[in-house]
Structure 1
Protein backbone atom coordinates (compact mmCIF):
# COMPACT_ATOMS: atom_id res chain seq x y z
CA UNK A 1 0.00 0.00 0.00
CA UNK A 2 1.41 3.45 -0.88
CA UNK A 3 2.60 5.69 1.94
CA UNK A 4 2.85 9.43 1.35
CA UNK A 5 6.02 11.26 2.28
CA UNK A 6 6.07 14.65 4.06
CA UNK A 7 5.23 16.51 0.85
CA UNK A 8 2.52 14.13 -0.30
CA UNK A 9 4.38 11.99 -2.83
CA UNK A 10 3.18 8.37 -2.55
CA UNK A 11 5.90 5.75 -2.16
CA UNK A 12 5.49 2.01 -2.53
CA UNK A 13 7.89 -0.41 -0.87
CA UNK A 14 9.34 -3.11 -3.10
CA UNK A 15 9.99 -5.49 -0.17
CA UNK A 16 8.64 -6.14 3.29
CA UNK A 17 11.07 -6.19 6.22
CA UNK A 18 11.04 -9.99 6.05
CA UNK A 19 11.82 -9.98 2.31
CA UNK A 20 14.72 -7.54 2.65
CA UNK A 21 18.12 -9.20 2.26
CA UNK A 22 19.87 -9.95 5.55
CA UNK A 23 23.23 -8.51 4.48
CA UNK A 24 23.24 -5.09 2.84
CA UNK A 25 25.95 -3.03 1.26
CA UNK A 26 24.19 0.18 2.34
CA UNK A 27 21.53 0.73 4.96
CA UNK A 28 20.21 4.25 4.30
CA UNK A 29 17.69 6.20 6.36
CA UNK A 30 16.42 9.43 4.77
CA UNK A 31 15.00 12.35 6.67
CA UNK A 32 11.56 13.80 7.08
CA UNK A 33 9.63 15.31 9.92
CA UNK A 34 6.60 13.47 11.22
CA UNK A 35 7.88 10.22 9.67
CA UNK A 36 11.16 10.51 11.57
CA UNK A 37 9.41 10.69 14.92
CA UNK A 38 7.08 7.86 13.94
CA UNK A 39 10.06 5.65 13.03
CA UNK A 40 11.87 6.58 16.26
CA UNK A 41 8.83 5.34 18.17
CA UNK A 42 8.18 2.19 16.10
CA UNK A 43 9.71 -0.96 17.67
CA UNK A 44 9.38 -2.92 14.42
CA UNK A 45 11.26 -0.30 12.39
CA UNK A 46 13.96 0.04 15.05
CA UNK A 47 14.42 -3.72 15.35
CA UNK A 48 14.71 -4.03 11.56
CA UNK A 49 17.29 -1.24 11.37
CA UNK A 50 19.30 -2.59 14.32
CA UNK A 51 19.34 -6.05 12.76
CA UNK A 52 20.31 -4.99 9.24
CA UNK A 53 22.66 -2.29 10.51
CA UNK A 54 24.59 -4.83 12.56
CA UNK A 55 25.73 -6.48 9.31
CA UNK A 56 25.63 -3.71 6.72
CA UNK A 57 28.86 -2.58 5.09
CA UNK A 58 27.67 1.02 5.40
CA UNK A 59 25.12 2.45 7.86
CA UNK A 60 24.03 5.84 6.57
CA UNK A 61 21.55 8.67 6.85
CA UNK A 62 20.84 12.23 5.82
CA UNK A 63 18.81 14.98 7.44
CA UNK A 64 16.72 13.73 10.36
CA UNK A 65 17.39 10.12 9.39
CA UNK A 66 20.36 10.29 11.78
CA UNK A 67 17.89 10.45 14.67
CA UNK A 68 16.30 7.20 13.50
CA UNK A 69 19.71 5.51 13.30
CA UNK A 70 20.40 6.82 16.79
CA UNK A 71 17.09 5.50 18.12
CA UNK A 72 17.97 2.09 16.66
CA UNK A 73 21.22 2.14 18.64
CA UNK A 74 23.34 2.34 15.49
CA UNK A 75 25.19 5.57 16.35
CA UNK A 76 26.11 4.81 19.96
CA UNK A 77 29.80 5.67 20.29
CA UNK A 78 30.03 7.15 16.77
CA UNK A 79 30.58 10.66 15.45
CA UNK A 80 27.51 11.74 13.49
CA UNK A 81 25.49 14.64 12.18
CA UNK A 82 21.89 15.39 11.24
CA UNK A 83 19.68 18.32 10.23
CA UNK A 84 20.81 21.31 12.32
CA UNK A 85 17.63 21.97 14.38
CA UNK A 86 17.72 18.44 15.83
CA UNK A 87 21.38 17.42 15.56
CA UNK A 88 21.86 18.31 19.24
CA UNK A 89 19.61 15.33 20.08
CA UNK A 90 22.15 12.80 18.78
CA UNK A 91 24.08 12.63 22.10
CA UNK A 92 20.87 11.60 23.89
CA UNK A 93 21.24 8.34 21.94
CA UNK A 94 24.99 7.92 22.43
CA UNK A 95 26.37 9.64 19.33
CA UNK A 96 28.92 12.44 19.36
CA UNK A 97 27.44 15.31 17.34
CA UNK A 98 29.93 16.78 14.88
CA UNK A 99 28.79 20.03 13.26
CA UNK A 100 29.71 19.18 9.66
CA UNK A 101 27.73 18.58 6.47
CA UNK A 102 28.98 14.99 6.18
CA UNK A 103 30.53 12.93 8.97
CA UNK A 104 32.29 9.59 8.52
CA UNK A 105 33.15 7.40 11.48
CA UNK A 106 34.26 3.90 10.55
CA UNK A 107 31.34 2.46 8.52
CA UNK A 108 28.89 5.18 9.55
CA UNK A 109 28.26 8.04 7.13
CA UNK A 110 25.77 10.71 8.11
CA UNK A 111 24.75 13.91 6.38
CA UNK A 112 23.09 17.12 7.49
CA UNK A 113 20.02 18.71 5.94
CA UNK A 114 18.64 18.44 2.41
CA UNK A 115 21.49 19.91 0.36
CA UNK A 116 24.10 18.06 2.42
CA UNK A 117 22.55 14.97 0.84
CA UNK A 118 24.43 15.75 -2.38
CA UNK A 119 27.73 16.00 -0.49
CA UNK A 120 26.80 12.80 1.35
CA UNK A 121 26.08 10.95 -1.91
CA UNK A 122 29.39 12.00 -3.44
CA UNK A 123 31.27 11.02 -0.27
CA UNK A 124 29.57 7.60 -0.24
CA UNK A 125 30.48 6.97 -3.89
CA UNK A 126 34.10 7.95 -3.13
CA UNK A 127 34.16 5.51 -0.19
CA UNK A 128 32.43 2.62 -1.95
CA UNK A 129 34.03 2.94 -5.39
CA UNK A 130 36.64 5.68 -5.70
CA UNK A 131 37.12 9.43 -5.67
CA UNK A 132 37.44 9.64 -9.45
CA UNK A 133 33.90 8.31 -9.96
CA UNK A 134 32.59 10.75 -7.36
CA UNK A 135 34.37 13.58 -9.18
CA UNK A 136 32.85 12.48 -12.51
CA UNK A 137 29.38 12.44 -10.96
CA UNK A 138 29.94 15.89 -9.47
CA UNK A 139 30.83 17.18 -12.93
CA UNK A 140 27.91 15.40 -14.60
CA UNK A 141 25.41 16.98 -12.20
CA UNK A 142 27.27 20.33 -12.37
CA UNK A 143 27.49 20.47 -8.62
CA UNK A 144 29.34 23.70 -7.86
CA UNK A 145 27.30 25.31 -5.10
CA UNK A 146 27.19 29.08 -5.10
CA UNK A 147 24.23 30.04 -2.92
CA UNK A 148 22.87 33.55 -3.38
CA UNK A 149 23.14 34.22 0.37
CA UNK A 150 25.55 33.20 3.10
CA UNK A 151 22.70 31.96 5.28
CA UNK A 152 22.76 28.15 5.11
CA UNK A 153 23.84 27.38 8.68
CA UNK A 154 22.87 28.82 12.07
CA UNK A 155 26.32 30.44 12.31
CA UNK A 156 25.83 32.14 8.94
CA UNK A 157 22.19 33.07 9.53
CA UNK A 158 22.85 34.55 12.95
CA UNK A 159 20.97 34.16 16.20
CA UNK A 160 17.85 36.15 15.24
CA UNK A 161 17.05 34.25 12.01
CA UNK A 162 17.98 30.94 13.65
CA UNK A 163 15.68 31.62 16.61
CA UNK A 164 12.81 32.50 14.27
CA UNK A 165 13.25 29.25 12.34
CA UNK A 166 13.57 27.22 15.55
CA UNK A 167 10.38 28.90 16.81
CA UNK A 168 8.52 27.63 13.76
CA UNK A 169 9.61 24.07 14.59
CA UNK A 170 8.74 23.98 18.30
CA UNK A 171 6.17 21.19 18.09
CA UNK A 172 8.25 19.04 15.73
CA UNK A 173 11.46 19.50 17.68
CA UNK A 174 9.76 18.77 21.01
CA UNK A 175 8.35 15.55 19.55
CA UNK A 176 11.81 14.60 18.27
CA UNK A 177 13.37 15.39 21.67
CA UNK A 178 10.82 13.23 23.48
CA UNK A 179 11.45 10.36 21.06
CA UNK A 180 15.23 10.75 21.46
CA UNK A 181 14.93 10.76 25.25
CA UNK A 182 12.79 7.59 25.16
CA UNK A 183 15.29 5.95 22.82
CA UNK A 184 18.19 6.90 25.07
CA UNK A 185 16.46 5.35 28.08
CA UNK A 186 15.60 2.21 26.11
CA UNK A 187 19.24 1.97 24.95
CA UNK A 188 20.53 2.48 28.51
CA UNK A 189 22.20 5.81 27.72
CA UNK A 190 22.12 8.33 30.55
Structure 2
Protein backbone atom coordinates (compact mmCIF):
# COMPACT_ATOMS: atom_id res chain seq x y z
CA UNK A 1 0.00 0.00 0.00
CA UNK A 2 1.55 3.33 -1.05
CA UNK A 3 1.64 6.39 1.18
CA UNK A 4 -1.26 8.21 -0.48
CA UNK A 5 -3.56 5.18 -0.24
CA UNK A 6 -2.50 4.65 3.37
CA UNK A 7 -3.25 8.27 4.24
CA UNK A 8 -6.61 8.11 2.52
CA UNK A 9 -7.58 4.97 4.42
CA UNK A 10 -6.31 6.35 7.70
CA UNK A 11 -8.12 9.67 7.32
CA UNK A 12 -11.34 7.94 6.27
CA UNK A 13 -11.16 5.74 9.34
CA UNK A 14 -10.44 8.72 11.56
CA UNK A 15 -13.34 10.70 10.16
CA UNK A 16 -15.73 7.77 10.56
CA UNK A 17 -14.60 7.15 14.12
CA UNK A 18 -15.14 10.79 15.07
CA UNK A 19 -18.69 11.05 13.77
CA UNK A 20 -21.60 11.24 16.16
CA UNK A 21 -23.17 7.87 17.12
CA UNK A 22 -25.46 6.60 14.40
CA UNK A 23 -23.91 8.74 11.67
CA UNK A 24 -22.31 7.19 8.61
CA UNK A 25 -18.89 8.07 7.17
CA UNK A 26 -20.58 8.54 3.78
CA UNK A 27 -22.40 11.56 5.22
CA UNK A 28 -19.17 13.47 5.84
CA UNK A 29 -19.08 16.53 3.53
CA UNK A 30 -16.43 16.31 0.83
CA UNK A 31 -15.25 18.84 -1.72
CA UNK A 32 -16.64 18.42 -5.22
CA UNK A 33 -13.17 18.27 -6.75
CA UNK A 34 -9.61 18.06 -5.54
CA UNK A 35 -8.11 21.53 -5.11
CA UNK A 36 -5.03 22.10 -7.25
CA UNK A 37 -2.20 23.39 -5.06
CA UNK A 38 1.00 24.69 -6.63
CA UNK A 39 3.94 24.76 -4.20
CA UNK A 40 6.99 26.71 -5.34
CA UNK A 41 10.26 24.86 -4.68
CA UNK A 42 13.61 26.61 -4.95
CA UNK A 43 17.23 26.18 -3.80
CA UNK A 44 17.82 27.10 -0.16
CA UNK A 45 14.21 26.82 0.94
CA UNK A 46 13.48 25.50 4.43
CA UNK A 47 12.24 21.94 4.06
CA UNK A 48 9.88 22.19 7.05
CA UNK A 49 8.24 25.26 5.50
CA UNK A 50 7.22 22.97 2.66
CA UNK A 51 6.53 19.67 4.40
CA UNK A 52 4.41 21.05 7.24
CA UNK A 53 1.64 22.35 4.95
CA UNK A 54 2.29 19.57 2.44
CA UNK A 55 1.44 16.95 5.06
CA UNK A 56 -1.94 18.60 5.61
CA UNK A 57 -2.58 18.96 1.86
CA UNK A 58 -1.61 15.34 1.22
CA UNK A 59 -4.02 14.00 3.85
CA UNK A 60 -6.67 16.30 2.41
CA UNK A 61 -6.09 14.54 -0.95
CA UNK A 62 -5.31 17.74 -2.83
CA UNK A 63 -3.85 17.67 -6.33
CA UNK A 64 -0.28 18.66 -5.42
CA UNK A 65 2.13 20.28 -7.88
CA UNK A 66 5.74 20.93 -6.83
CA UNK A 67 6.86 23.72 -9.16
CA UNK A 68 10.50 24.58 -9.82
CA UNK A 69 12.26 26.83 -12.30
CA UNK A 70 13.24 23.58 -14.05
CA UNK A 71 12.76 19.88 -13.39
CA UNK A 72 16.16 19.65 -11.67
CA UNK A 73 16.10 18.70 -7.95
CA UNK A 74 16.57 21.66 -5.61
CA UNK A 75 18.61 21.47 -2.42
CA UNK A 76 16.92 22.48 0.83
CA UNK A 77 18.36 23.91 4.03
CA UNK A 78 18.89 20.45 5.57
CA UNK A 79 20.61 18.94 2.53
CA UNK A 80 17.62 16.89 1.37
CA UNK A 81 16.75 17.60 -2.28
CA UNK A 82 13.20 18.08 -3.54
CA UNK A 83 12.39 17.12 -7.13
CA UNK A 84 9.78 19.28 -8.88
CA UNK A 85 6.83 17.66 -10.59
CA UNK A 86 6.37 20.66 -12.87
CA UNK A 87 8.55 23.47 -14.22
CA UNK A 88 7.62 27.11 -14.72
CA UNK A 89 6.79 26.23 -18.32
CA UNK A 90 4.58 23.22 -17.56
CA UNK A 91 2.91 24.45 -14.35
CA UNK A 92 -0.87 24.56 -14.38
CA UNK A 93 -2.67 27.86 -14.75
CA UNK A 94 -5.71 28.74 -12.66
CA UNK A 95 -4.36 27.21 -9.46
CA UNK A 96 -6.66 26.95 -6.47
CA UNK A 97 -3.67 27.72 -4.25
CA UNK A 98 -0.27 29.26 -4.94
CA UNK A 99 2.05 28.54 -2.01
CA UNK A 100 5.56 29.91 -1.42
CA UNK A 101 7.74 28.53 1.40
CA UNK A 102 10.60 30.47 2.96
CA UNK A 103 14.34 30.26 3.45
CA UNK A 104 16.04 33.65 3.70
CA UNK A 105 18.97 33.25 1.29
CA UNK A 106 16.88 31.42 -1.29
CA UNK A 107 14.10 33.96 -0.86
CA UNK A 108 16.46 36.88 -1.50
CA UNK A 109 17.83 35.10 -4.59
CA UNK A 110 14.25 34.63 -5.82
CA UNK A 111 13.38 38.28 -5.18
CA UNK A 112 16.30 39.25 -7.39
CA UNK A 113 15.43 36.78 -10.16
CA UNK A 114 13.08 38.30 -12.78
CA UNK A 115 11.99 34.88 -14.05
CA UNK A 116 10.89 33.72 -10.59
CA UNK A 117 9.14 37.00 -9.83
CA UNK A 118 7.34 36.92 -13.18
CA UNK A 119 6.13 33.35 -12.61
CA UNK A 120 4.89 34.07 -9.08
CA UNK A 121 3.15 37.26 -10.23
CA UNK A 122 1.40 35.57 -13.16
CA UNK A 123 0.20 32.56 -11.18
CA UNK A 124 -0.76 34.76 -8.24
CA UNK A 125 -3.01 36.91 -10.43
CA UNK A 126 -5.28 33.95 -11.18
CA UNK A 127 -4.95 31.75 -8.07
CA UNK A 128 -7.95 31.38 -5.79
CA UNK A 129 -5.64 31.70 -2.76
CA UNK A 130 -2.17 33.30 -2.66
CA UNK A 131 -0.22 32.03 0.31
CA UNK A 132 3.15 31.77 2.01
CA UNK A 133 5.00 30.64 5.10
CA UNK A 134 8.01 32.34 6.67
CA UNK A 135 10.09 34.52 4.33
CA UNK A 136 8.03 33.30 1.37
CA UNK A 137 5.92 36.41 1.99
CA UNK A 138 8.85 38.51 0.77
CA UNK A 139 8.66 36.75 -2.59
CA UNK A 140 4.93 37.42 -2.77
CA UNK A 141 5.61 41.04 -1.90
CA UNK A 142 8.33 41.37 -4.53
CA UNK A 143 5.86 40.03 -7.09
CA UNK A 144 3.40 42.80 -6.15
CA UNK A 145 0.92 40.34 -4.64
CA UNK A 146 0.76 41.83 -1.13
CA UNK A 147 0.34 45.48 -2.10
CA UNK A 148 -2.68 46.72 -0.15
CA UNK A 149 -3.00 43.53 1.91
CA UNK A 150 -2.38 42.65 5.54
CA UNK A 151 0.38 40.06 5.90
CA UNK A 152 3.00 38.52 8.14
CA UNK A 153 6.31 36.70 7.77
CA UNK A 154 9.17 35.45 9.93
CA UNK A 155 9.59 37.87 12.81
CA UNK A 156 13.02 39.08 11.71
CA UNK A 157 11.90 40.24 8.26
CA UNK A 158 8.19 41.00 8.57
CA UNK A 159 8.90 44.71 9.03
CA UNK A 160 10.21 44.72 5.45
CA UNK A 161 6.76 43.97 4.04
CA UNK A 162 5.57 47.63 4.08
CA UNK A 163 8.42 48.42 1.67
CA UNK A 164 6.36 46.39 -0.84
CA UNK A 165 3.00 47.86 0.08
CA UNK A 166 1.75 45.42 2.73
CA UNK A 167 0.45 46.16 6.22
CA UNK A 168 2.20 44.04 8.84
CA UNK A 169 0.12 42.08 11.34
CA UNK A 170 2.29 40.28 13.89
CA UNK A 171 0.13 37.16 14.09
CA UNK A 172 1.01 33.54 13.45
CA UNK A 173 -1.40 33.30 10.51
CA UNK A 174 -2.88 36.34 8.76
CA UNK A 175 -5.80 36.13 6.31
CA UNK A 176 -6.84 39.11 4.21
CA UNK A 177 -9.34 38.28 1.48
CA UNK A 178 -7.58 35.57 -0.57
CA UNK A 179 -4.10 36.22 0.83
CA UNK A 180 -2.99 33.92 3.66
CA UNK A 181 0.49 34.36 5.12
CA UNK A 182 2.12 32.72 8.12
CA UNK A 183 5.07 33.31 10.40
CA UNK A 184 8.27 31.32 10.56
CA UNK A 185 8.72 27.61 9.81
CA UNK A 186 6.49 25.83 12.35
CA UNK A 187 3.63 28.22 11.61
CA UNK A 188 3.29 26.29 8.37
CA UNK A 189 1.18 23.62 10.08
CA UNK A 190 -1.14 26.27 11.53
CA UNK A 191 -1.41 27.77 8.06
CA UNK A 192 -2.07 24.40 6.43
CA UNK A 193 -4.90 23.65 8.81
CA UNK A 194 -6.41 27.13 8.41
CA UNK A 195 -6.35 26.76 4.63
CA UNK A 196 -7.75 23.22 4.83
CA UNK A 197 -10.75 24.62 6.72
CA UNK A 198 -11.40 27.04 3.86
CA UNK A 199 -10.90 24.46 1.11
CA UNK A 200 -13.07 21.84 2.86
CA UNK A 201 -14.69 22.68 6.21
CA UNK A 202 -13.64 23.25 9.79
CA UNK A 203 -14.61 19.77 10.97
CA UNK A 204 -12.33 18.18 8.37
CA UNK A 205 -9.45 20.47 9.35
CA UNK A 206 -9.95 19.58 13.01
CA UNK A 207 -9.85 15.89 12.20
CA UNK A 208 -6.65 16.32 10.19
CA UNK A 209 -5.14 18.13 13.18
CA UNK A 210 -6.10 15.20 15.39
CA UNK A 211 -4.77 12.69 12.87
CA UNK A 212 -1.32 14.33 12.83
CA UNK A 213 -1.51 14.91 16.61
CA UNK A 214 -0.73 18.57 16.27
CA UNK A 215 -0.83 19.53 19.93
CA UNK A 216 2.35 21.60 20.44
CA UNK A 217 3.84 21.79 23.90
CA UNK A 218 7.30 23.35 23.39
CA UNK A 219 9.91 22.67 26.08
CA UNK A 220 10.93 26.34 26.29
CA UNK A 221 9.14 29.69 26.17
CA UNK A 222 11.53 30.82 23.45
CA UNK A 223 9.53 30.77 20.23
CA UNK A 224 9.15 34.53 19.75
CA UNK A 225 11.08 37.72 20.58
CA UNK A 226 8.39 38.61 23.11
CA UNK A 227 8.88 35.36 24.97
CA UNK A 228 12.64 34.93 24.78
CA UNK A 229 13.67 38.52 25.55
CA UNK A 230 15.92 41.15 23.96
CA UNK A 231 19.32 39.52 24.56
CA UNK A 232 18.58 36.29 22.71
CA UNK A 233 16.65 38.18 20.05
CA UNK A 234 19.58 40.48 19.37
CA UNK A 235 21.92 37.50 19.09
CA UNK A 236 19.78 36.07 16.29
CA UNK A 237 19.54 39.46 14.56
CA UNK A 238 23.33 39.83 14.72
CA UNK A 239 23.89 36.37 13.30
CA UNK A 240 21.38 36.82 10.48
CA UNK A 241 22.18 40.51 9.96
CA UNK A 242 23.99 40.27 6.60
CA UNK A 243 21.14 38.30 5.02
CA UNK A 244 18.48 40.55 6.53
CA UNK A 245 20.25 43.57 5.01
CA UNK A 246 20.27 41.85 1.60
CA UNK A 247 16.55 41.15 2.04
CA UNK A 248 15.96 44.82 2.81
CA UNK A 249 17.82 45.88 -0.33
CA UNK A 250 15.76 43.45 -2.42
CA UNK A 251 12.52 44.65 -0.79
CA UNK A 252 13.33 48.31 -1.47
CA UNK A 253 14.17 47.53 -5.09
CA UNK A 254 10.94 45.56 -5.45
CA UNK A 255 8.93 48.37 -3.89
CA UNK A 256 10.35 50.86 -6.35
CA UNK A 257 9.57 48.47 -9.22
CA UNK A 258 5.92 47.96 -8.22
CA UNK A 259 5.34 51.63 -7.41
CA UNK A 260 5.28 51.72 -3.62
CA UNK A 261 6.04 55.28 -2.43
Give the TM-score normalised by structure 2: 0.71
Question: Could you report, residue by residue, the CA deviation over 1:105-158 in whole angstroms, capped at 9, with x for unpaired residues?
Answer: 000000100111110000000111110011001111111111111111111111
Q: Which residue of 2 aligns with 1:166?
A: 237
Q: Which residue of 1 aligns with 2:68?
A: none
In 2, distance between residues paired with 1:99 and 1:2?
Answer: 34
Contact 1:61 1:109 in 2 (8 A): yes
Cα root mean square deviation, aligned: 0.9
Q: Which residue of 2 aligns with 1:95?
A: 166
Structure 2 unaligned segments of length 5 or more: list them: 1-71
Q: Which residue of 1 aligns with 2:107?
A: 36
Structure 1 unaligned segments of length 5 or more: list them: none
Give the TM-score normalised by structure 1: 0.97
SS in 2 for 1:149: coil
**Segment of structure 1 superposing worse, 72-81 or 146-155:** 146-155
Task: Give the drift of 1:177.
Answer: 0.7
Contact 1:6 1:35 in 2 (8 A): no
The answer to whether residue 131 in structure 2 is matched with residue 60 in structure 1 is: yes
Runs (4+) of structure 1 moved beyond 3 Å?
none
The answer to whether residue 83 in structure 2 is matched with residue 15 in structure 1 is: no
Task: Give the drift of 1:33.
Answer: 2.0
Question: Could you report, residue by residue, the CA deviation over 1:60-117 in whole angstroms, capped at 9, with x for unpaired residues?
Answer: 0001000000000000000000011001100000010100000000000001001111
In 2, distance between residues paired with 1:9 and 1:183?
Answer: 30
SS in 1 for 2:130: strand
